[in-house]
Amino acid sequence: MSKEKKSKNNRKEKIEAATRKEEINNKIDSVLIEEKPKDVRSLIEIVEEKYEIPEEEIISVIREREINQKITLQEPIPLSTELPKKPKEYFIKNNYYTKEFWISIGVMALVLIFVLVNVESGFFFYVRYAVVSFFMLVLTGWSLTSTIFPEINDNFRFLERIATAIGLSLLVLILDGLFLNYTFHFTPLSIGLSLIIITLICMIITFVLRIKLARDGFIFQRKKKKSTTEIKDE
């Protein structure tokens, strides 16, 4: 086979592949508009069943669209993440922030109980270590992460938040341990109370920032300088 024939065949294959991708893209758009699937798995199943397209091709096109930022894939968020404008909505309304707040309060209450009551064996011994480990390795950093990034959106996903929270938890734990070692002494009670205080402070700051962000649309904004014009008499 000559080189010209090979190049023609290659061009033909590329054109066919591009046409095929365009067709799949159009069908995906059609399904997104008409069917409104809840997740990527549902989208793939509908396209595959409706148009008899292999799953591998659909996944390939979806991944390419995500890389080109034509579609955004994110973890499913079952609760509303719209920032509450009133304190009542933050503490009582059924949304992400209410769940986050009361879970944090509940975990801290359990940690305080387990620190004050010494459990050396039995079922509650393992519960104690599970709760305290979650608090020290995740929740402390999670509260600090929420203070730094109070808004929940696609720019900073939940998996990224968890990874950041674990890293910040370790940092806070090390710094807090060093501080206590040279001041109040490093004991289970001192480390537990100090981390609870740090977490509560972060939660209060996060609450204020989120309410301000919901009401004003910004947290910090520079004041615009008023433009002054001088009128000169000729």
Q: What is the pLDDT of residues 10-33, one digit of tens each?
A: 777 888 888 888 888 888 888 888
Q: What is the dihedral of CA 209, 212, 217, 220, to 10 degrees?
A: -60
User: Quick one: the chain helix, strand, coil %, rounded to 5?
Assistant: 70, 0, 30
b (16+ CB within 10 A) / e for 212-226: bebeeeeeeeeeeee
| Residue 137 DSSP code | I
- Per residue in 139-198, pLDDT tens? 999 999 999 988 877 677 788 889 999 999 999 999 999 998 888 888 888 999 999 999
Domain ranges of the chain: 3-67, 87-216
Intra-chain end-to-end CA distance of the chain, in Å:
87
Q: What is the pLDDT of residue 76?
A: 53
* pLDDT tens digits along 72-101: 665 555 556 778 888 888 888 878 888 899
8-state DSSP, 224:
P
pTM: 0.61
Both tokens assigned to 111: 């940690």
Q: Has residue 219 got a pLDDT over 80?
A: no
Q: How many CA atoms, within 13 angstroms, populate the side-chain half-sphere of residue 198?
A: 24
